[in-house]
Structure formats: C-alpha cells, structure tokens
Structure 1
Amino acid sequence: MSTQPLRLLLVDDQPLLLQGFAMILSTEPDLEVVGQATDGRQAVDAVREHRPDVVLMDVQMPVLDGIEATRRIVADHPEVRVVILTTFDRDDYLFDALQAGASGFLLKNADAEDLVDAVHAAAEGHALLAPEVTMRVIARMAAGGGPAAPSRPPAPAEDGDALPELTGREREVLRMMARGLSNAEIAAEAFVSEATVKTHVSNVLAKLVVRDRVQAVIAAYEAGLVRPGETGTAG
C-alpha cells in the first residue's frame, strides 16, 4: 500500500541554501518539495497555491520576515506545520516563532538527518525542540516571559492533584517531556516500547487540548506538575 509523500515548501532568501535543502530532502522517498520562496510574502502565497504539509521557514528575509509569515500561514492554514530554520540561536527568535505558531525550531548547521527528522516530527504534530531549547522555554516562562506565561507562580501540587485528567503514567511521561527527553529516551527510562510512549504523548496532547509538546510542558508548569528547577537535563 503506497502513501502520499509529505509535501514541503522551502523558504529562504539565499538561493544556494534553498538548493541545498531541496537536494537533501528530495532524496527521501516520502518527501516531495512542491515549492520554494525567497521571502515571507512569497511563502504566504505559495502555501495558498501548493498546500504543503510542512514549511521550512527562514527568519530574516526581505519584504516579510519569517516570523510574521509563520503567523499568517498558521492563522489561515492551521493544518500546515512550520519549522523555523535560522543561523541565529537567539531567544527572541525562538519565543517569537513559538508564539507565531511554529512547530519546530532548528539551526541551519544541523545535520541532514536532523533536518529530515524535523520534517517528520512536524508532520506528525510534534514540536521539534532540542532539550536545551525546552529548558530555555521553561526558564523564560518561569521568569514571566515567553509564550503562555502564567500570570502568577503556580501553586505546588501533589501528583494526584495536578492535571487530574491524566493517568499516573501520562503525568510521568509529561514530566520526562519537560526534561526534553525524546520518545526513544522516555521509552528507555520507563521500560516500555517507543510505540507505547507515542500513545501516551498523543493522549497527553489530546487531554490537555494543546498543539504540541512545548504547550503540554507549559500546561504542566502552570498546573504545578513541573517546576523549573525540576526539569534538569536529558540523560
């Protein structure tokens, strides 16, 4: 049984980078580059024309920058996932991108494998953020900034009281998500299969009515299930 390849739109104001990304991604049998754009306004128009599944979006571009283009694309086409690609590892880009509705944030010096993984993760509805980036989201939010920052510090909660709609195992998985662990790492730590972890993660997102893993972690912080000092580091 054949499945349709994921449709990709590439957006960057540097033609050589566009060509490079296209070459890397076109070698994957389940990916198809359906369009390219060199500024944000072209990107908005190209999404309307090509209806891609995933957009790889540069940040600094003429006419319309990638953050505003992402905001317009997500507002008009909520089914389209946007992964921000940038050479700048800057917090303002990160938080602006997340607030605009981006599903991932990747530096342009990432490996080709990471780029492909980012596309697949975004298409599956997961946020692609490195563990250290997840830590920065939590730290920024705890300081009162960043997306969906709570209006006051969360009250401490007993495990059974925080997010009661989740099962005990789902709360455990959510805590590990907050530490920036991947599904494979969660599976290893919890002694379950990766498929089981994927089910738990999907259940967490559905029950919390959130778009992706980052928003789930923010909900956990707001409920008192996760505290910034407890997030630690992956591994």
Structure 2
Amino acid sequence: MKHILILEDLKDAQHWLAAATQRAWPEAEIVFCATLRSACKALDEGAPQLCLVDLQLPDGSGVDFIRQCRQQHPDAQLVVATMYDDDLHLFPALQAGANGYLLKEDPQEQIASALLGIVKGVPPLSPQIAQRMLGYFQQVPLEVAEEARKRDLPEADSAGLLSAREQEFLLVIGNGYKTAEAAEMLGVSYHTAAKHIKNIYAKLGISSRAQAVQEAIRLGLIN
C-alpha cells in the first residue's frame, strides 16, 4: 500500500492510526482528512489504495464516505476504524461497502497485522467484531430494538440527553482539558474518553470545544 487516506476528526486518533498503519507499510504516503467533505474532495484529487474510516464525523457519517469511495474507486480497500462495536454501526458500514472493521481499542500491533492480511485476501476484522458477525443471525440484535424504542421517545432537553458520566466529561472538556487529560482525570482509557466525548457532541449537536464550553455553561456545569 502506497497511498493511504485516514478519515478521522480527532488529531490524537489520527496520529495513533497513522502509527499503526506505518507498522504495516512504513513508506506509505498518508493523507489525513478530518471531515466528510474534505475526504470526499480528496477522492476527486486521487485514488487511495486504503482508507481507514471513522464513522462519526463533525459533518456526517463515514458510511457516506464509504459509499462514495466505493463508487468512485471500486478497487480501494475501505476499513472502518472506530470505537463502536454495536450492530447499528457495524452492519450499515458493511452494507455500504466496507472491506473490514477494526476497533481503535485494539493494540497497534494487532491492527497492523490485520491490515497486512489485506494483501493475502483476509478481511481485517477485530476479533470482537468477527464474533458479533457470527452471532448476528442467531438472535435479534438488542441494539436495533433499543434504537427503535428511542426514536419513539419525545425530545428531551440537553441535560436529560446526557448521562451522569457524560456530564462529568462535558464539565472537564468545558474547562479546557484535552481528551487525554480528561481520560487521566476520570480514570479511563483514551479511547473510552474519546467515545464519551463523541457521544456528547452527537447528543448536543455540536462539533467543537468552543461549543462544548457554551453547552457546559448553559447546563450550569461551569460558571
């Protein structure tokens, strides 16, 4: 692989994924995109051989990028790199044309090994994802039923949308701390912290730290 695109909006995660990818292909040229719009524009400027795609982006879904890239560059390898291991994220990505699905909580060596399997025709899948796919047809996915129930609920105010843990993270990032610092302060891994923060952004409909500060003030978490 010589031309690789990483679609990921968090800088720390970009660097982490790049390091994992370079374990497999040290000489690869890597292009970083932080938004769906910039990634789709990059498809017009060149044909990537491999794309690592986050699913939840500030301006849309990585599934839309997968679908467009599959149309424009059908030979590209499209591998999801995400924190979400549930059916609601997994199966739409695969149906859109993803060749693989990796979890960012996996060790870098494991991700590099999975990516190297591409050249041997082995789909890159995290073990947890492979098990989920095997068990999918054995029972009704609980996440699908839960999501259906949620859609019938009336809108709640912003405070009601956030769990107690998410409010803790909003308080921390609202005070200017970065993801890694929030993870250390609240005693969780970086990837767990990033997942909480992405959920907060999605629930509140925001896309920047400045907006997070405003929401934290509005909700009375900080003065």
Distance 2:62 2:132 in 1: 21
Distance across 1 between alignment mates of 2:67 and 2:40: 10
Question: Alpha-carbon deviation of 1:75?
Answer: 1.9
Deviation at 1:119, TM superposition (A): 2.5
Letter in 2 for 1:88: Y
Q: Quick check: 1:55 aligned with 2:51?
A: yes
Residue identity in the other structure for 2:38: Q
> In 2 relative to 1, CA 26–131 (structure 1 residues): closer, same or farther, beyond 3 Å?
closer
Distance in 2 between residues matched to 1:27 and 1:144, nearest whole Å: 38
Map Cα deviations across residues 185-209 of structure 1 (whole Å, 9 max, x no partner): xxxxxxxxxxxxxxxxxxxxxxxxx
What is the TM-score normalised by the length of structure 1?
A: 0.53
Shift in CA distance, 31/38, structure 1 to aligned 2, threshold 3 Å = same
Partner of 1:78: 74
3-state SS of paired residue (1:35):
strand
Between the aligned residues of both structures, percent identity stands at 27
Is the 1:56–1:82 Cα contact (8 Å) retained in structure 2?
A: yes
Between the aligned partners of 1:67 and 1:29, the Cα distance in structure 2 is: 25
- 1:35, distance to aligned residue in structure 2 (A): 0.8
Counterpart among 130, 136, 156 of residue 132 in structure 2: 136
1:87·1:108 contact (CA, 8 Å) conserved in 2?
yes
- List aligned pairs for 1:223-234, cutoff 5 A: none
Partner secondary structure for residue 82 of structure 1: strand
Cα deviation digits, residues 148-170 of structure 1 (max 9, x gap) = xxxxxxxxxxxxxxxxxxxxxxx
Work out the CA distance in 2 between the residues paired with 1:87 and 1:143: 23
- Within a 5 Å distance, the mapping from 1:43-122 to structure 2 comes to 43-122=39-118
SS of residue paired to 1:55: strand
> How much has 1:16 moved relative to structure 2?
1.7
- How well do the aligned residues superpose, as a CA RMSD in angstroms? 2.4
Compare the two structures and name the one with the higher helix fraction.
2
Please tell me whether the aligned partners of residues 121 and 128 of structure 1 are also in contact (alpha carbons under 8 angstroms): yes
The more displaced of 93-102 and 5-14 is: 5-14
Tell me which residue corresponds to 1:20: 16
- Normalising by structure 2, report the TM-score: 0.55
Residue 158 of structure 1 is matched in structure 2 by none
The offset of 1:123, in angstroms, is 4.6
Query: What is the deviation of 1:8?
Result: 1.0
The residue number in structure 1 matching 2:30 is 34
AA at the equivalent of 1:90: D
* Residue matched to 1:198: none
Closer, same or farther in 2 for the Cα pair 1:133/1:61, shift >3 Å? same
Give the Cα separation in 2 of the matches to 1:142 and 1:104.
21
**Conservation of the 8 A alpha-carbon contact between 2:117 and 2:123:** yes
**Which stretch of structure 1 is more off in the superposition, 16-25 or 69-78?**
16-25
Per the alignment, do residues 114 and 50 of structure 1 end up closer, same or farther by CA in structure 2, a change over 3 Å counting? farther
Q: Distance in 2 between matches of 1:17 and 1:62?
A: 15
Deviation (angstroms), 1:73: 0.8
Q: How many residues align?
A: 141
Q: Counterparts of 1:144 and 1:79 in 2: how far apart (Å)?
A: 33
Deviates more, 1:47-56 or 1:129-138: 129-138
Q: Distance in 2 between matches of 1:98 and 1:31?
A: 28
Task: Identify if the C-alpha distance between structure 1 residues 54 and 95 changes in structure 2 by more than 3 Å, giving closer, same or farther.
Answer: same
